[in-house]
Structure 1
């Protein structure tokens, strides 16, 4: 049950708690906290960050894919 998040990068769809848009001060704070704690995974390959994926493990994954697109892909993989 993998959700495609960029090129050859995938995340376990059933381990995703939230998919957030990358703009906003709360999301920037979450990103900063995850980086400081060593829980940040950058899956952007140098691209513009469009979403943050929060996993059940507490890890935060950066993605260039729009949150709506990731959500649609997750619904296909996991089901409604």
Structure 2
């Protein structure tokens, strides 16, 4: 399921390992290391980074949305997918 992470940027929610705040020193080091390796994706459109998404393939995605906002969207899309699968089973019966 794809989710919107701000400013027209979309990621595959099934590939997200963690959504963290960029304030701590370990996360800052992780982001800097990812930038140096070329595996950081800056989706902030020049705004302040408010969340860091750690992806399955070790890529790091920077977003200007709060972690709570993105987590809510992930949970909402998971609930929608679950509801649609339940509705699909009801139709088959």
Q: With CA pairs under 8 Å and 6+ residues apart, which has the higher RCO, 1 or 2?
A: 1
The structure whose residues are more often strand, as a share, is: 1
Greater gyration radius: 2
Q: How many residues align?
A: 80
**Alignment pair present for 1:12 and 2:12:** yes
Aligned partners of 2:3 and 2:13 also within 8 Å: yes
Q: Is the 8 A contact 1:20 1:53 kept in 2?
A: yes
Aligned residue for 1:4, secondary structure, equals strand
TM-score, structure 2 normalization: 0.82
TM-score by length of 1: 0.95
More helix by share: 2
